[in-house]
Homo-oligomer: A and B are copies of this chain.
């Protein structure tokens, strides 16, 4: 399912939910090369302001990308820009709800901007903005 550029209107919203697992942190460390002890060493992480291990911020950011690529606009989308502000830590076992809401549609350039956030319960852990090029409706 893809939303084409002329389907998209300000206020439309999609979400993606995910519970962060130990395996997710391990795999993210492998693919990124980021094996910082704040993600992998509980004793070390306890000495930081986070008081324990946290997930990689860019792992949480990936959920925003998942919405844009998989749900809205969906396959055919070209991801152009992502701004993420990391507001609070995400820990193993946290259930993250990511959401993207259409802010503006430029039909001529096929550009769509989104307001994005990720929450754990009532806590905003990430907020940001994304810009994509949405697919054109195939000619009949």
A interface residues, Cβ below 8 angstroms from B:
16, 18, 24, 27-28, 30-38, 44, 48-49, 56-59, 61-63, 65-66, 69-70, 75-76, 78-86
Contact = CB atoms under 8 A, between A and B. Distances in A.
A6 B111 CA distance: 42
A38 B82 contact: no
Nearest to A45: B75
Contacts of A84: 81-83
Contacts of A82: 57-58, 61, 82-84, 86
A61 B32 CA distance: 9
A79 B60 CA distance: 13
Contacts of A65: 32, 34, 56-58
